[in-house]
Amino acid sequence: MTETEEPVWKRDFPYQAVGEDEVTRREFARFLVAGAGVMAAGNVGFAAWTQLRTINTGEPREIIALSEVPVGETHLFRYPTEADPAVLVRLGDREVAAFSQKCTHLGCVVYFEAEENRWHCPCHEGNFDARTGEVLSGPPPRPLGKIEVELRGDTVWALGADL
């Protein structure tokens, strides 16, 4: 059979569908458009998710009376939900700071080391600044999740969290 000859099956079934040659291209184009649409929707969803993660979450809530936390001591609580372990430290007479207790490396629990004035993660020796939660050393890729706190009289309030 030469290239100009029709195949046997075409001779036996000499019916030509309308636009037979374009079907494959159209389907290919549809797959391309559908694939691009799915990727675009995925990108939009991912961008929204990352934005929502950094939005200030949590309702203003009383945490503890300041007088119950001696200077240099901590108080464990949960914020913004009962599933979020958090820790407050009293750094001075009227100075407090609060953070998520989860290390930003692999999620171990961080502890306050008063003598070093830092948060310490024993899992891989990660260290964070006591006041700001910024990474001082070790593998954590970002600061501790911060909980905004405010003193109202003798009461410590949590106002929101950036976890």
Q: To the nearest whole angstrom, how small is the minimum distance from the Cβ of residue 46 to ligand FES?
A: 25
Q: To the nearest whole angstrom, how small is the minimum distance from the Cβ of residue 136 to ligand FES?
A: 11
133, with CB counted inside 10 A (0-12, 13-18, 19+), is buried
- Concatenate the DSSP letters of all residues of 8-62 into one string: HHHHHS----TTTTTHHHHHHHHHHHHHHHHHHHHHHHHHHHHHHHHS-B---EE
Q: To the nearest whole angstrom, how small is the minimum distance from the Cβ of residue 120 to ligand FES?
A: 9
List residues near ligand FES by CB under 6 A: 103, 105-106, 108, 121, 123-124, 126, 138-140
Which of 126, 160 has the CB closer to ligand FES? 126
Which of 77, 128 has the CB closer to ligand FES? 128
